[in-house]
Amino acid sequence: MLDIFCKIVAGEIPAHKVYEDDKYLAFLEINPIRLGHTILIPKEHYSTVYEIPDGLYAEYFLKAKELSTAVKTAAGAEKCGLVVAGFDLDHAHIHLLPMDTTEDIDFHNQHEETQANLATMADKIRGLVAA
């Protein structure tokens, strides 16, 4: 049975994609802590980041670093936090969180976001990634 992230990769579930290549996919969290909250996943299924082969592991975190600037800028944030929690889903993923304070990294502050706001933010991030 495919997890939700594998279904997004397969195109079975829609997502507001901000970056995609042959190995990785980044998309907006639909229940963000703050608008711009982005999830970066490897397209190949690994249960946790620690299962990712060493060569890809470094590349994966470098991709997160690359995307962090676009997320921070698009959200108008001072910083972009990186969280690897791994409790909520059985698929390796990194949260890229636009932050101005430590409250912007509190998962208890997640909220539902409108599709229109998500689409606008995805466009902003995509435009900055390509720049």
Active site residue 93: yes
Q: Which of 16, 37, 91, 93 is catalytic?
A: 93
Q: What is the DSSP string of 21-87?
A: -SSEEEEE-SS-SSTT-EEEEESS--SSGGGS-HHHHHHHHHHHHHHHHHHHHHHT-SEEEEE---S
The SS3 call for residue 124 is: helix
Closest CA to 119 of 32, 17, 7, 21: 17
- 121, 74 contact by CB (below 8 A): yes
Longest dimension (CA), the chain: 40
Q: Contact at 8 Å (CB) between 110 and 33?
A: yes
The residues carrying an active-site annotation are 93
